[in-house]
Structure formats: structure tokens, C-alpha cells
């Protein structure tokens, strides 16, 4: 992990390269460094950190989405980068609202990100523009809705527990 100072150095490097408004913020929490950037520049920043940065991160360990409901903007995509030689990790995060849930694809940099992006699209409805084959990957093709969004109903069948049996009067009939 870069420490808090190292994270600021990475952020300064990205600012120098792409302009001040690209970096939305830096978060250093429990020894995990997160660099938050604007959604439209996610691909450029990840590509830069992978190849051209002073201390490059050569491996995409994970790509996933998250729903921060009720915080706004709600949706986010996390790119967990790993520098294998230095054993150094950095999280690049973008956040966007439900209505403008679009982020450029990074499959041209990391072809292995293809399935991760499809899964993120499947579960959160985040569109990765430029992805060669953006289809659902886990849920059935004709499934409606994005099940890991916080406002998606739980599904399944109602189960009676002691805490809610009073809400269903005479359920035993």
C-alpha cells in the first residue's frame, strides 16, 4: 500500500498528467489507499497507472461495483490495482449517479476485465461504453432489473420469523 503521503504523490502525478479536475479526492482509511477520479477519465487514469506512471501497477486484481444508497452519487466502480513486484495496492474509484451510470471500458488495457465489467453491468446496471460484448453474465438474459442495487427487492419468498409474525395476522391459516 502506498501510505497517505504516497497516495498524495500518486494523486499529484495524475493531476499533472490529466488536469486538476480529474482527481475528485483521495481517501486513506485503514491503510487502504483510494484515489477517486471522474468517471469519464477512469480508463485514462487506470491505463496511465498501469503503464506510464513512475511506479506502475501492472495487475488488475479486481473490478467491481458498489451501491452507496442513500449517499449520492449512488453507484461506483472500483479498480483494485496491484503492483506485483512491490506488492503494492491502489484502489481507483469512480462514483456516478444512477441516471448517468456510464464509465469507459478498460478491456483494451486489461482484456481480463471483460467478465468483471459484464458482471458489474449485470448486477448494478453500470454501462461500460466501448465494451465489445456487454451482456448479462450471471443472471438470465431476459432478467429485468439490477439485483445488487439497494433499491432492488430482495426476492425469494417471505419467511415468518418471530420479529415479523405479528405483521402477518393469522398467517398459520
Partner 1 sequence: MEVIRQPLNGEGGGEDLRIRQVRARQLLRGELEGEDLERYVEERVLMTTLEQAQNWARANAVWPLGFGLACCAIEMITTLAGPRTDLSRFGAEVTRSSPRQADMLILSGRVSIKMAPIIRRLYDQMLEPKWVISMGACASTAGMFNNYALVQGADKFLPVDVYVPGCPPRPEALAYGVIKLQNKIKGQPDLGWRERYQSYGTEEQSA
- Cα dihedral across residues 165, 166, 172, 173: positive or negative: negative
Residue closer to partner 1, measured from CB, 129 or 164: 164
**Rounded to whole angstroms, how far apart are CA atoms 71 and 58?**
32
* CA separation for the pair 59, 159 (Å, rounded): 43
Q: Site residues for partner 1, window 106-145 (CB under 8 A)?
A: 138-140, 143
Of the candidates 98, 79, 99, the one whose C-alpha atom is nearest the C-alpha of residue 89 is 79
Written as nine digits, the cell of 171 is 398467517
**Stretch in the footprint of partner 1 (CB under 8 A) among 17-25, 48-56, 61-69, 151-159:** 151-159
Minimum CB separation of residue 101 from partner 1 in Å reads 19
- Nearer to partner 1 by Cβ, of 29 and 161: the residue is 161
Cβ proximity to partner 1, 133 vs 173, nearer residue = 173
CB atoms near residue 48 (< 10 Å):
17
Residue 147 engages partner 1 in binding (rule: CB under 8 A): yes
The count of chain residues that interact with partner 1, using the rule CB under 8 A, is 13
CB of 156 to partner 1, least distance (A): 4
Q: Are 67 and 148 in contact (CB under 8 A)?
A: yes
Q: Which stretch binds partner 1 (CB under 8 A): 28-36, 54-62, 67-75, 154-162?
A: 154-162
CA angle 133, 137, 140 (to 5 degrees): 120
Considering only 30, 85, 133, 156, the residue that binds partner 1 (CB under 8 A) is: 156
SS3 category, 81: strand
User: Backbone phi, then psi, for 170, in 5-degree steps?
Assistant: 55, 45
Find the part of the chain contacting partner 1 (CB under 8 A) among 2-10, 20-28, 68-76, 153-161: 153-161
Q: Which one, 12 or 160, has the nearer CB to partner 1?
A: 160
Interacting residue ranges for partner 1, rule: CB under 8 A: 138-140, 143, 147, 152-157, 159, 173
Amino acid at each position: 500500500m502506498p501510505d497517505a503521503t504516497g497516495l498524495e504523490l500518486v494523486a499529484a502525478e495524475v493531476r499533472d498528467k490529466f488536469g486538476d479536475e480529474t482527481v475528485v479526492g483521495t481517501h486513506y482509511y485503514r491503510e487502504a489507499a483510494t484515489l477517486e477520479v471522474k468517471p469519464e477519465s477512469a480508463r485514462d487514469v487506470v491505463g496511465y497507472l498501469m503503464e506510464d506512471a513512475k511506479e506502475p501497477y501492472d495487475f488488475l486484481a479486481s473490478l467491481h461495483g458498489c451501491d452507496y444508497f442513500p449517499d449520492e452519487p449512488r453507484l461506483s466502480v472500483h479498480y483494485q490495482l496491484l503492483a506485483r513486484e512491490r506488492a503494492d495496492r491502489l484502489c481507483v474509484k469512480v462514483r456516478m449517479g444512477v441516471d448517468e451510470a456510464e464509465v469507459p471500458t478498460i478491456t483494451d488495457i486489461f482484456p481480463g476485465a471483460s467478465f468483471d465489467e459484464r458482471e458489474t453491468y449485470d448486477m448494478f446496471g453500470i454501462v461500460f461504453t466501448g465494451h465489445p460484448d456487454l451482456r448479462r453474465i450471471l443472471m438470465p438474459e431476459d432478467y429485468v432489473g439490477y439485483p445488487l442495487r439497494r433499491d432492488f427487492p430482495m426476492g425469494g419468498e417471505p419467511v415468518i420469523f418471530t420479529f415479523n409474525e405479528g405483521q402477518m395476522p393469522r398467517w398459520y391459516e
